[in-house]
Amino acid sequence: MPTSPRRATLAVVAASAGVSVATVSKVLNGRSDVAPATRSLVQSLLRQHQYVAPSPRHAAGARPATIEVQFDADLNAYSTEIIQGAVEAGAEAGVAVVVSIRPGAEHTSARVLDLVSAGRRALIAVTSELTSGQLGVLSRARLPLVVIDPLNLPRTSVTSVGSTNFAGGFTATQHLLRLGHRRVAYIGGPATAACSQARLHGYRAAMEAEGAPVLPGYVQSGHFLYQDGLEFGAVVLDLPQAPTAVFAGSDETAFGVMEAARSRGLRVPEDLSIVGFDDTQIATMVSPPLTTVRQPLREMGRAALRTALRLADGEKIDSHHVELATELVVRGSTAPVLPAG
């Protein structure tokens, strides 16, 4: 096959861009280890020279590979941020992002082979619970996997990206205690989920540090849903010693608590302070805007994509689990406690 004119083009492009032919080749192959500015320059020069890709990087076909981001349930505000981050990082690396929605249980061998034959370079699974059988199938197919916000505790066999859930829970609770609240309840996610446990223990640690008692009924477990906030919000607000503040384990749960308060004639934040967890776009759009613990969801999507590409390139990664920092964002749903009436 006459590849020499193509190689000549690569050499010209490399010279014009002031980089090596190897770097041009990396850009053509969608490798992640090229600076974005260099990539843009090389791509624009390739276009100027009307470069036509000679042969595929992967045996099967000539098309650029894709990375699949897979959710195990319908998309929501949380998913939106993850997709945004993955798409941004994908665009920088020259890799397209396919979005799919499948129950975690669906990782049969056939499905994984479909992914491989469809040219996926890696799979990013979001909040899915994967069995060791499923992990085995992925591993045998040599399809790199990165899990975002794993439900199980991080295992060395699975690469994952999360956020500092314990610190987030601590900071949220401490914020309420510093506003003078002593009666602070927590409405979290499943007791079995690693992230939920970490947030709960952050809450407990902050309460203990201030000597504020966790009264009976003050800890409730749902599934991070709006409905949980509505239901368990009602439960805690109807307690004989009702809390003056609620820390909710997700923004959605916090919105449910807001509605439970409103339907009881309680004003937020005057009668009840509420802190959420996630900082999705909705947090800025409710009234009052929600004080919440920001999970860097976009950055988690970006980090997952970059890590997946490195795994696909056969690179060594520093750690099988990375946690990005959470941050308290104070808005209108929290206020100093009213003097006891």
The count of C-alpha atoms lying within 13 angstroms of the C-alpha of 312, restricted to the half-sphere facing its C-beta, is 29
Q: Which stretch binds its own copies (CB under 8 A): 7-15, 78-86, 164-172, 236-244?
A: 78-86
Tokens of 22: 């190897």
Site for its own copies in 278-317 (CB under 8 A): 281-282, 284-289
Category of 142 on φ-ψ map: left (φ > 0), alpha (ψ -120 to 50) or beta: left
Nearest CB to its own copies, comparing residues 64 and 180:
64
Position 207 contacts its own copies (CB under 8 A):
no
Our finding on whether 258 is near its own copies (CB under 8 A) is yes
Q: What's 106's DSSP letter?
A: G
Minimum CB separation of residue 18 from its own copies in Å reads 21
Does the protein bind its own copies through residue 74 (CB under 8 A)?
yes
The minimum distance between CB 340 and its own copies, in angstroms, equals 25
Helix (H, G, I), strand (E, B) or coil at 273: strand
Give the contact letters, 93-112, x = binds to its own copies (CB under 8 A), - = no.
---xxxxxxx-------x--
The candidate with the shortest Cα–Cα distance to 295, out of 78, 87, 2, is 78
Question: Looking only at residues 218 through 257 of this chain, which bind its own copies when binding is defined by CB under 8 A?
Answer: 226, 252, 255-256
The gap from C-alpha 112 to its chain's centroid, in whole angstroms, comes to: 23
Task: Please identify which residue in 83, 143, 167, 206 interacts with its own copies, judged by CB under 8 A.
Answer: 83
Contact 275, 246 (CB under 8 A): yes
**C-beta closer to its own copies: residue 140 or 178:** 140
| Residue ranges in 40-59 that form contacts with its own copies under rule CB under 8 A | 44, 47, 53, 56
For the window 160-199, what string marks contact with its own copies as x by the rule CB under 8 A?
----------------------------------------
Classify 186 as helix, strand or coil.
Answer: strand
Strand 327-329 and strand 291-294: pairing? antiparallel
Total residues contacting its own copies by CB under 8 A comes to 50
The label of the residue with tokens 């624009």 reads: 44
Q: Are 89 and 305 in contact (CB under 8 A)?
A: yes
Query: Which of residues 207 and 246 has its CB atom nearest to its own copies in the complex?
Result: 246
Interacting residue with its own copies among 14, 68, 145, 189 (CB under 8 A)? 68
Please give the Cα distance from 316 to 115 (Å, whole number).
Answer: 23
Place of tokens 């959420």: 276
Q: Tell the smallest beta-carbon distance from residue 87 to its own copies (Å).
A: 5
Question: Residue 301 CB, nearest distance to its own copies (Å)?
Answer: 11
Identify the H or E element spanning 278.
strand 273-278
Q: Alpha helices, DSSP H only, in 94-237?
A: 109-117, 132-140, 165-178, 194-210, 226-237
Q: What residues line the site for its own copies (CB under 8 A)?
A: 44, 47, 53, 56, 60-64, 66, 68, 74-77, 79-81, 83-84, 87-88, 91, 96-102, 110, 117-119, 226, 252, 255-256, 258-259, 261-262, 281-282, 284-289
